[in-house]
């Protein structure tokens, strides 16, 4: 369900939007029968669903371009069956496929994250542009809404800072809201998102039903240096996809010609590097808490460097898991990475996770394919579990009964078919403790605290250690990502020398004068035995107020915001679920605040219209309670919004008479 809260001051073109908030309710109401979102996961027909996806285009083989339509049902059936045989369960598209093509997806048993292309560099404020977009979306929905294989819509891909800045963030937000509303109206219950990228890490993804990001291991510096791939994705999961599904809609490596590097790069990777790197990203997105990923992509795209009849050396043409030998090769040949995915997809271990610290029992969650009938878990050559699997899913807790207070653990999972053959094995490395432990941390402060284009921003870093951990290479890495196109940014490092388990350092970054937003990050890797974990922190700063309507709550625009966030008081603000709920006609609304401050509580109806100002006064710190009497309101869904300073929280309420 999409809820929009709007308060307006003024009229027409002079109107000023005071507050905009959209949320997707994760409870099982008003959702399509086949697709649900609950507890931050997709559920298909009541079953928890991990997206094992692959990017797919229906007519972009050698000699073809996506804007000239060519339909070949037999070839698409061949592709979809090959994809399904490799253990993938979902395809991801960019532009809208036709109804004939969608019928074939539906017949195949695969699911689809259905792309509806909206130009990410469009003039979002232009009425003609908006009209064209809405007409196109409407025409697509006229047929796509009939198919249950559609489990989500992706309405844009990788919008950059400059087009948003030029066209107006508020105009983009307004367009997004219109498209989301239309999709929810015509294909009720099917969630909507857009494929963001690390360049858009400042955008508030709460306005969408699930969070989708394209993320590659080689760009930008917040991935390659300060956070690491898994680290930055875990940041996005916690801060852009909390309580909603988090899908990596593109990841992969190109094997274009060039001199291979020791590191993964945009192009020039060997076939071995493509295989190892793709699986590294796949495992890392799982460990970061994602609910699925879509590897980029099914086959090479000869058309991408302007001549669809020649396989040019540009890296963008060489990401395919399937390659073509010549113009007449319509089926293509799998690269080695294809069989690696086919094997890996047989069992997806979502718990336990690498780099995780578990206190007490260890969660075990596994999604398998049909041919996996049993598995075992082995530690130090001892079999801990030998278990059959039913319904392609297993979920339980594992108690290791450890005697050590802190122990690095490597668990090897072996998966078998009915004949007892090993189909896959994988080792997960984590840390087990008997009680909570203090892990090393890093704090970072920026001077000045707001973005300083054309000059310098200084970083003040403080690292606190714990003697039970060592720090890899005694090194801290820090970076500044300026969000200018796909410019990776600048990274630096320092050797750490502790004094009383503390280390302080400072440095600076020159900020390009055209910068509108920058992410600063810093991180290091800790080790205990075979266990490693990336420790990191970040600050995202925008220049001016241009992004205020779409920026996330942790993005800083000015010094006052920075000081507010550094005080760390917001996490102590809690709006509790009202009780009873459903209710008739009276319920209690409870909240907790960390200091004496102004508190605003407002009730909204299901259309997002503010109907009752329940509280607007200063309240003392601590636990507070008020009574809401809904006797004059009809039965239905309502929303309670708590607003304290810049922090807001919303709870769903139901009046049932």
Domain covering 570-655 in this structure, CATH number: 2.60.40.1930
Mean pLDDT of 422-435: 96
pLDDT at 243: 87
pLDDT at 24: 37
Confidence of residue 653 (pLDDT cuts 50, 70, 90): confident
> Is 200's pLDDT higher than 90?
yes
> Is 39's pLDDT higher than 50?
yes
Confidence of residue 10 (pLDDT cuts 50, 70, 90): very low
pLDDT digits (tens, 9 = 90+) for 284-305: 999 999 999 999 999 999 999 9
Structure tokens at 449: 């605290």
CA dist 24 and 1 (Å) reads 6
Specify burial of residue 579 (Cβ count, 10 A radius: 0-12, 13-18, 19+).
exposed
Structure tokens at 501: 């388990």
Task: Assign a CATH topology to domain 361-433.
Answer: Immunoglobulin-like (2.60.40)
> Is 159's pLDDT higher than 80?
yes
pLDDT digits (tens, 9 = 90+) for 616-629: 999 998 888 899 99
CATH 3.40.50.300 assigned to domain 53-301? The reply is no
State the DSSP code for 581: S
Q: Which residue do the tokens 């001892």 mark?
A: 382
CA dist 413 and 411 (Å) reads 6
pLDDT at 17: 32
CA dist 352 and 429 (Å) reads 8
Structure tokens at 280: 């590294």
Confidence of residue 608 (pLDDT cuts 50, 70, 90): low
CATH 1.20.58.390 assigned to domain 441-566? The reply is no
Mean pLDDT of 634-651: 82
Enumerate the domain spans of the chain: 53-301, 361-433, 441-566, 570-655
pLDDT at 638: 86
pLDDT at 609: 74
Q: Which residue do the tokens 């796909």 mark?
A: 486
> Is 379's pLDDT higher than 60?
yes
Query: What rounded mean pLDDT belongs to the chain?
Result: 90
> Is 219's pLDDT higher than 80?
yes
Of residues 177, 430, 100, 148, the one with CA closest to residue 287: 430
Of 122-131, 141-150, 563-572, 578-587, where does mean pLDDT reach its minimum? 563-572
Total residue length of the chain = 657
Q: Which residues pair with 532 in a beta bridge?
A: 527
Mean pLDDT of 262-290: 96
Mean pLDDT of 417-443: 95
Largest interatomic CA distance in the chain: 75
Mean pLDDT of 149-170: 95
pLDDT at 248: 98
What SS3 class is residue 190? coil
Q: Do 570-655 and 361-433 fall under one CATH topology?
A: yes
* Cβ neighbours of residue 400 closer than 8 Å, sequence gap 6 or more: 362, 379, 384, 409, 432
Of 41-55, 175-189, 511-525, 567-581, where does mean pLDDT reach its minimum? 567-581
Q: Taking the CA atoms of 98, 100, 103 and 104 in sequence, report the sign of the dihedral they define.
A: negative
> Is 262's pLDDT higher than 90?
no
pLDDT at 574: 84
pLDDT at 389: 93
pLDDT digits (tens, 9 = 90+) for 316-375: 999 999 999 999 999 999 999 999 999 999 999 999 999 999 999 999 999 999 999 999
> Is 20's pLDDT higher than 60?
no
> Is 122's pLDDT higher than 60?
yes
> Is 606's pLDDT higher than 80?
no
> Is 85's pLDDT higher than 90?
yes
CB atoms within 10 A of CB 39: 10
């Amino acid at each position: 369900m999409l809820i929009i809260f709007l308060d307006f001051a003024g009229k027409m073109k002079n109107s000023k939007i005071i507050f905009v908030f959209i949320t997707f309710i994760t409870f099982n109401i008003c959702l399509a029968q086949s697709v649900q979102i609950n507890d931050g996961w997709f559920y298909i027909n009541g079953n928890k669903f991990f997206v094992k996806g692959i990017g797919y285009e229906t007519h972009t083989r050698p000699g073809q371009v996506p804007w000239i339509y060519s339909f070949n049902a037999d070839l698409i059936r061949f592709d979809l069956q090959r994809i399904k045989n490799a253990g993938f369960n979902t395809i991801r598209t960019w532009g809208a496929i036709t109804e004939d093509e969608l019928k074939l997806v539906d017949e195949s048993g695969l699911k689809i994250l259905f792309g509806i292309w909206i130009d990410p560099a469009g003039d979002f404020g232009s009425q003609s542009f908006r009209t064209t977009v809405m007409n196109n979306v409407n025409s697509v929905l006229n047929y796509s809404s009939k198919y249950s294989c559609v489990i989500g819509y992706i309405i844009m891909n990788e919008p950059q800072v400059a087009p948003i800045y030029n066209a107006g963030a508020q105009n983009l937000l307004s367009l997004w809201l219109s498209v989301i509303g239309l999709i929810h109206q015509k294909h009720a219950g099917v969630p909507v998102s857009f494929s963001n990228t690390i360049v858009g890490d400042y955008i508030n993804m709460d306005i969408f039903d699930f969070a989708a990001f394209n993320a590659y291991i080689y760009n930008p510096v917040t991935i390659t240096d300060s956070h690491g791939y898994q680290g930055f994705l875990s940041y996005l999961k916690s801060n852009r996809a909390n309580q909603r599904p988090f899908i990596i809609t593109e990841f992969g490596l190109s094997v274009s010609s060039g001199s291979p590097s020791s590191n993964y790069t945009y192009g020039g990777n060997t076939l071995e590097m493509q295989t190892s790197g793709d699986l590294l990203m796949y495992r890392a997105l799982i460990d970061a808490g994602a609910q699925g990923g879509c590897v980029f992509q099914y086959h090479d795209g000869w058309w991408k460097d302007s001549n669809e009849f020649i396989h040019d050396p540009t890296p963008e043409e060489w990401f395919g898991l399937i390659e073509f030998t010549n113009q007449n090769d319509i089926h293509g040949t799998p690269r080695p990475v294809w069989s690696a995915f086919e094997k890996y997809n047989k069992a997806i271990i979502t718990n336990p996770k690498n780099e995780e610290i578990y206190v007490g029992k260890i969660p075990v969650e596994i999604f398998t394919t049909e041919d996996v009938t049993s598995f075992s878990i082995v530690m130090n050559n001892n079999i801990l579990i030998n278990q059959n699997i039913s319904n392609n899913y297993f979920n339980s807790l594992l108690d290791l009964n450890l005697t050590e207070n802190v122990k690095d653990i490597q668990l090897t999972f072996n998966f078998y078919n009915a004949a007892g053959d090993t189909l896959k094995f994988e080792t997960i490395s984590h840390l087990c403790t008997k009680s909570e432990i203090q892990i090393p941390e890093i704090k970072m402060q920026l001077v000045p605290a707001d973005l300083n284009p054309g000059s310098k921003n200084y970083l003040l870093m403080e690292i606190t250690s714990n003697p039970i951990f060592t720090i890899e290479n005694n090194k801290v890495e820090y970076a500044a990502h300026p969000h200018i196109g796909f410019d990776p940014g600048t990274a630096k490092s320092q050797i750490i020398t502790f004094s009383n388990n503390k280390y302080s350092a400072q440095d600076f970054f020159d900020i390009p004068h055209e910068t509108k937003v920058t992410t600063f990050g810093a991180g290091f890797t800790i080790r205990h035995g075979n266990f490693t974990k990336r420790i990191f922190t970040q600050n995202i700063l925008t220049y001016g107020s241009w992004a205020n309507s779409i920026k996330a709550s942790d993005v800083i625009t000015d010094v006052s915001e920075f000081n507010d966030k550094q005080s760390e008081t917001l996490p102590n603000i809690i709006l509790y679920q009202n009780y009873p709920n459903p209710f008739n006609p009276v319920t209690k609304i409870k909240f907790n605040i960390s200091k004496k401050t102004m508190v605003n509580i407002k009730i909204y109806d299901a259309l997002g219209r503010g109907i009752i100002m329940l509280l607007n006064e200063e309240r003392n710190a601590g636990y507070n309670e008020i009574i809401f009497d809904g006797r004059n309101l009809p039965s239905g869904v309502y929303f309670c919004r708590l607003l304290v300073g810049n922090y807001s929280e919303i709870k769903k309420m139901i009046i049932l008479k």
